[in-house]
Structure 1
Amino acid sequence: MSRWTRRGPGVARRRPLLPGLVGLFAVAVTMSTAGCGSSSDSAPQALTTATVPADEASAPAGWQTRQGPGFSVALPPQWQNRPDDQRAAPSAALEVGVPYAAQTVPPPLLLAFVGRDLVGPLPIREKVLRAQLEAGLPDDTTLGASTHVKVAGSTDAVTFDVTYRTKGGTSVTGVRLAPTTVRQRELIVETAGLPKYGFRYAAAQDDFDQGTWNQILGSIVVRAGDQGTEAPSTDGQDS
């Protein structure tokens, strides 16, 4: 069985999915039931680096700065790359968050996507993403209204919230997860050329922190028009 999924917000690609919900955390749960275990010795994600201008963006003191192909973003100091065997979205350029431990709800997570194909302008990408979410998530899923936001280096950007309830399951560390209401913030970023960008911040609704999101959003810088040749970084992060 297969269904439409995306390489990044607003970019559709057809590929097989594991059984279960298409939601970010539901996919992570399904990965564990499909035989993916946890490993504390997993190497960090191999991210590429890019030089981006610090155009009206700021990183909070003490936060770590991650750089990907054409973008940079600051993250809380305790957040870590998801090991390969714990990733919910292997196609994402960045997947980082609070490490899995003994939580009974999925821990907060940020995903970053980079689209290098001609995927259409932002309004089209948003419509496609909304349609995918409506098709893949539970019937009681709520999609909020769009809000335009400022992202350094972009020509436009919109966010909207998605809330849905998971049925529970088993985490990648073998801990039983309780049924949980999940809230995720979708960010679709438009640029004057290529690439295009998308980000997703997701957490159990009680753990969704607006202040954390505001600081992440205020730190993001994107670049377009010069994809260049990026060399892999050694550790996937800059401090």
Structure 2
Amino acid sequence: MNLDRSLTAAAFLLTAATTLAGCSGTPSHSPSATRLPSASPSYAPAVPPGWIRDRVDGLTFAHPADLVPRPATERAQPSAAIELGGPVSAQVPISPGFFVFEQTSGYGSADAQAAVTISNYKARLGSDPSRPAVRPTVPGAETAIMLEFDFPYTDGHQPTPVASRQFEIYVQTPGAGPLYGIRFGGPATYLTPDLGERLVDTLRLTPAPATTAGKP
């Protein structure tokens, strides 16, 4: 495992087996959440300076422009519809990772997926969400939920712990539409606490174009 992938392939993919993996039913409890201000379905979110817009089917979003597609031979999660990696520097010793997943059947609810994610972080990292879950109002979505986790990361390539942060976001399409999952993680020097809310502010669901991925 090379340095560029080490953080993503380990801690940042610890929920890969359960993210959008067919979890069904409703959990016995749903994560407590803070609701962000609502927006109308016609709202066209602004792209923050230095970010670019992208999409996976009906989900449009924006991300920092320095996140670029990882080569197929370096992808940590081949099942992701999009996998991006960020630059490494003295201040950001491990590459940030950005993933978008899409599940079209057998996925359960956004709350069910969030509950599984919380359980996995607790079991494998001993980490609870670093703040209450947020329920952003995503135009066109039935519901959405964002979790944030802070934890020290270390492995054989990075023996000195790196303060790290990861956002887990689930966006549920009304009716029988797909459930989307976004995972955005990296060193806390890159993923500042406001980055998650800046990301969810760019989300919206629209009718899917003829092609499944690309620019809106």
| TM-score normalised by structure 1 residue count | 0.64
> Could you tell me whether the CA contact under 8 Å between 1:106 and 1:177 is conserved in 2?
no
> Could you tell me whether the CA contact under 8 Å between 2:22 and 2:105 is conserved in 1?
no
Question: Deviation per CA, 1:197-237, whole angstroms, max 9, x where unpaired?
Answer: 111221212322234433322112224xx768x4366xxx5
Per the alignment, residue 183 of structure 1 pairs with 165
Per the alignment, residue 11 of structure 1 pairs with 21
Distance 2:49 2:133 in 1: 30
Classify 1:60/1:166 alpha carbon distance in 2 versus 1 (closer, same or farther; 3 Å): closer
Distance 2:54 2:201 in 1: 14
1:112 to 96, 100, 104: 100
Distance 1:75 1:121 in 2: 25
Residue 106 of structure 1 deviates from its aligned partner by 1.7
Sequence identity, in percent? 22
| TM-score normalised by structure 2 residue count | 0.69
Question: Deviation per CA, 1:6-51, whole angstroms, max 9, x where unpaired?
Answer: 46735358xxxxxxxxxxxxxxxxxxxxxxxxxxxxxxxxxxxxxx
Residue 187 of structure 1 deviates from its aligned partner by 1.0
Count residues with an aligned counterpart.
184
Residue 167 of structure 1 deviates from its aligned partner by 2.3
> Could you tell me whether the CA contact under 8 Å between 2:111 and 2:145 is conserved in 1?
no
SS in 1 for 2:180: strand
Over aligned residues, Cα RMSD in angstroms?
Answer: 3.1
Q: 1:1-239 residue pairs with structure 2 within 5 A? A: 6=16, 9-12=19-22, 55-61=43-49, 63-100=51-88, 105-135=93-123, 137-139=124-126, 141-144=127-130, 145-170=132-157, 178-193=160-175, 194-223=177-206, 230-231=210-211, 237-238=214-215
> Could you tell me whether the CA contact under 8 Å between 2:168 and 2:183 is conserved in 1?
yes
Residue 54 of structure 1 deviates from its aligned partner by 6.1
SS in 2 for 1:207: coil
Distance 2:159 2:42 in 1: 40
Per the alignment, residue 45 of structure 1 pairs with none
Classify 1:122/1:214 alpha carbon distance in 2 versus 1 (closer, same or farther; 3 Å): closer
Structure 2 portions without partners, runs of 5+: 1-13, 24-40
Which amino acid in the other structure matches residue 185 of structure 1?
A: F
Residue 63 of structure 1 deviates from its aligned partner by 2.9
Distance 1:203 1:162 in 2: 11
Question: Deviation per CA, 1:139-181, whole angstroms, max 9, x where unpaired?
Answer: 3x232431211222212111121223222333xxxxx564223
Structure 1 portions without partners, runs of 5+: 14-52, 171-175
Distance 2:21 2:201 in 1: 24
SS in 1 for 2:139: coil
Residue 122 of structure 1 deviates from its aligned partner by 2.4
Distance 1:96 1:177 in 2: 24
Which amino acid in the other structure matches residue 165 of structure 2?
A: R
Per the alignment, residue 32 of structure 1 pairs with none
